[in-house]
Amino acid sequence: MNPNKIHRFIFYSPDRFEPIMASPLMSLVHDDDRYQKSFQLFLERSSEHQCMKDFIHNKLPHILASIGDGKSHLNVIEVGSGAGDIDLEMLSELHKKHPEVTIDNEVVEPSSQQLHHYQVLVSQKPELNYTKFTWNKMTASEFEENWKQKKMTKKADFVHMIQMLYYVKDLGATISFFQSLLDKNGKLIITLVSGWLGETVPEIQEPVVQHRNKLLCNHKRHQMLPGLQGSELPEL
């Protein structure tokens, strides 16, 4: 993967969403060892984690301030959580913005190794006592199927999908499902490498960025770039 790829952040509100094309990429979720090696190589050769940290501390707090609408309890769904280090930073920012609330956190991660690392990390942080963790060792589609089978009616205030849509068979259906879970003022945040996004779903730019102002930031070589609108988007 090109380490200089721009990383794009998109967030959705609970309202409209136009279906988009399915991903042609092969899933690694059934080969855990290969997945771990591939993911580690990705981290070593990309600016993904630094980009996420910049986003979490510079952009995310403003977004999180508007969720909840005065609730005393917030529901969070983390899809493709990995080892949890980035997810816990996001939870920390959520707690800073809403220090009095308790959080119910659904962790969705198909890799047993990654899920174990996340659980160990949580066990080392007693300050997370404001959060109840539910561990779901499953893919996004399995989580969706399980959610529907149980006829769950719970709504989510914050859903994030960090660098995980590459492994999804039906991109549009997956995004639509998790968007349908959002409560009023809820937010769904997605991160993808922008070159992949452009090659896979080029039509996402116009409806997402221009009409609903979903593009939060771009990142290249560890530098924050200003938010871009419509025709100002870089060529993908």
- Domain with 147, as residue range(s), is 7-232
pLDDT band at 69 (very low <50, low <70, confident <90, very high): confident
Angle in degrees, 0-180, between the axes of helices 48-58 and 32-45, rounded to the nearest 10? 70
In a domain? residue 16: yes
Burial 32-45 (b: 16+ CB within 10 A, else e): eeebbeebeebeee
pLDDT tens digits, one per residue of 141-187: 999 999 999 999 999 999 999 888 878 888 888 989 999 999 988 99
- Give mean pLDDT, residues 177-200: 76
Instruction: Tally the domains of the chain.
Output: 1
3-state secondary structure of 216: strand
CB-count burial class (<10 Å; 0-12, 13-18, 19+) for 174: buried
Domain containing residue 136: CATH number: 3.40.50.150
- Whether residue 77 is predicted with pLDDT greater than 90 in this model: the reply is yes
pLDDT tens digits, one per residue of 112-145: 999 999 999 999 999 999 999 999 999 999 999 9
In a domain? residue 69: yes
pLDDT band at 204 (very low <50, low <70, confident <90, very high): very low
In a domain? residue 2: no
How far, in Å, CA of 135 to CA of 121, rounded? Answer: 13
In a domain? residue 1: no
- Whether residue 214 is predicted with pLDDT greater than 70 in this model: the reply is no
Compute CA 32 distance to the chain's CA centroid, rounded to the nearest angstrom.
Answer: 20
In a domain? residue 21: yes
